[in-house]
Structure 1
């Protein structure tokens, strides 16, 4: 742990004895820590929630709420199970020591306090906590990167598959509709051949950004499905809502005005979309929804592209919105 981290560390000292608190404050401030104080367990919990200390020095025997009860309740607070608690106690019997660790204490020292030992244990606990938090942050970053498409920064195919299965199970439990859109950039290979792969990458990024803007809810997921294909998972969305989103996406991509001289349907880049909507059943795979959306996408391409089509199962529920919109 570097010196800057030491100086910025906040130590919460909890003891009903004012003299002990004063001695602990001086010892900790001498090490460069910022110190806050509490007289009992209740004050400790309040201070922890408002000030988020990096470590808690907690007396075991206190009025109002003792350290054992306080430590138990600390574990239930946000961040409480990751913040080291050093129990300070005059009790040295095996039962008290075991109880301290059972309620979540990270370590303990006995009274009278051996100050060099206390300083070293505080530093070690802070360093371990700091390194653990760094490792956790790095793992979270790796997990995010593993779920993202490097080019478009949308969810990748791996994340799409995970989320589709997750939402399929969730919607099945709740008996709610799940909608899926599959989108394909029209004539993308001729676009790449004409303008080059660098322009093709930029096109994919711009189309991906347009899809992301079209989805408003945090539960909706847009992903790069593969190549020039994108997908959108819309939990708890009926067919009419999916139609509206599909048309919004189609219009927004066309409004980008990305020139496409080799397209036979428009002078600019367009999308074809397939729409499927089902209320999932526990004994049916999410592949059923995927297959329906893929068939609808095939129909959209067969009918001339730059349009969306609905899977045959949902077609009777759909309403055509305009000349460029056709049911599958």
Structure 2
């Protein structure tokens, strides 16, 4: 539930080049229970804004060098959709100035001489509205996260994998950059589940997912739960050599966990097999080609004894067909 916050806990940035007006505003707002920071000009206001991130900017319209209109415009350019509301204080009442103020993102305005009762109500309303908008954005973000995060392992889910692979495929196609994919499978996981139980199986999946995430160091690389005990890692702008290094690290990291697996025919601990595929996307290819090739490489790793990776580089098409090279 969204709860309206107490505005008295808010921080207000007061911007006015006139010391007397600034002093009067600060004195009044402090008495109302607000924390107040002051700026004597537009440049100082922008610096203080990014340092303190206030809940409201009380801004004089007419100032030398950088006026209030320019300050507001810059705030909305540098922080689109999320800056604190601007309450402009102005002696200007002509229609053109009022229209200009609202066009650049001013939330409201109040004229000089200041009516303190009106100022009090507008400050309270704008701060409360801003806080509620922040809560709503956070709630929407959390809801969005639920649609792309696997609830058990807390890594990205299959839906996010499909979206991200398509996104990075398009980018790599435009920029003629390599794109790699690693598909991982926990070895003999069904035996593990049958022997240790589903709760232990869930914990195993969680630990492995966390280990895979910790083994990935670039922000652009995405670890996903592909399905069941399978995970997929999308590696944008990564060559086959780079992807094999990642895969080797993944295999070693999971083995180093030393999770007991008494029912494994090949190892006494939980291990991982990985299939690696890499290509430079071209119009003749589809994202599904990369997935299929990584699956084929995973099959090879399983066939050769598990607890290892196999890699395939998809050569550019020649005579209408792709050529796969095992590594």
Both proteins in one fold, TM over 0.5: yes
Give the CA deviation at 1:266. 1.7
How far apart, CA to CA, are the structure 1 residues paired with 2:79 and 2:184? 41
Using the TM superposition, give the Cα deviation of residue 64 of structure 1 relative to its aligned residue in structure 2, in angstroms. Answer: 2.6
Moved more, 184-193 or 129-138: 184-193
**1:269 Cα deviation from its structure 2 partner:** 1.9
The answer for the alignment partner of 1:324 in structure 2 is none
Change (3 A) 1:283 1:17: farther
Calculate the aligned-residue CA RMSD, in Å.
Answer: 2.0
1:20-48 CA-to-partner distances (Å, cap 9, x unmatched) read: 22221122112111122222323322322
User: More deviation in 278-287 or 218-227?
Assistant: 278-287
Change (3 A) 1:66 1:212: closer
Q: 1:250 and 1:98, CA in 2 relative to 1: closer, same or farther beyond 3 A?
A: same
Tell me the distance in 1 between the aligned counterparts of 2:142 and 2:211. 25
Distance, in Å, in 2 between the alignment partners of 1:250 and 1:69 is: 55
CA deviations 1:205-225 (Å, max 9, x no partner) are: 222222222222222111111
Aligned position for 1:321: none
Moved more, 16-25 or 173-182: 16-25
Deviation at 1:104, TM superposition (A): 1.6
Please say if residues 277 and 297 of structure 2, whose CA atoms lie closer than 8 Å, have aligned partners that are also in contact. yes
Segment drifting more, 35-44 vs 222-231: 35-44
- Taking the TM superposition and a 5 Å limit, the aligned residue runs for 1:1-328 are 1-3=4-6, 6-78=7-79, 81-282=82-283, 284-311=285-312, 313=314, 316=325, 318=327
**Partners of 1:296 and 1:312 within 8 A in 2:** no
Deviations 1:179-198 (A, max 9, x none): 11111112211221111111
Segments of structure 1 that go 5 or more residues without pairing to the other structure are 319-328
Per-residue deviation at 1:245? 1.8
Q: Tell me the number of residue pairs that the alignment of Structure 1 and Structure 2 aligns.
A: 316
C-alpha distance in structure 1 between counterparts of 2:223 and 2:71, whole Å: 44
**TM-score, L = length of structure 1:** 0.89
The alignment partner of 2:160 has SS state of helix
Per the alignment, residue 321 of structure 2 pairs with: none
Q: Which runs of 5+ in 2 are unaligned?
A: 316-323
Give the CA deviation at 1:317.
Answer: 6.7
Which whole-Å deviations, capped at 9, do the CAs of 1:40-60 have from their partners, x for residues lacking one? 323322322333221111121
In structure 2, do the counterparts of structure 1 residues 151 and 84 end up closer, same or farther at CA, with 3 Å as the change threshold? same
CA distance in 2, matches of 1:243, 1:36: 54
CA contact (8 A) 2:313 2:326 kept: no
Given that residues 82 and 129 in structure 1 are in contact (C-alpha distance below 8 angstroms), is that contact kept between their aligned partners in structure 2?
A: no
DSSP-derived class of the 2:314 partner: helix
Distance in 2, Cα, partners of 1:130 & 1:283: 50
Answer yes or no: is the 8 Å Cα contact 1:8–1:33 preserved in 2: yes
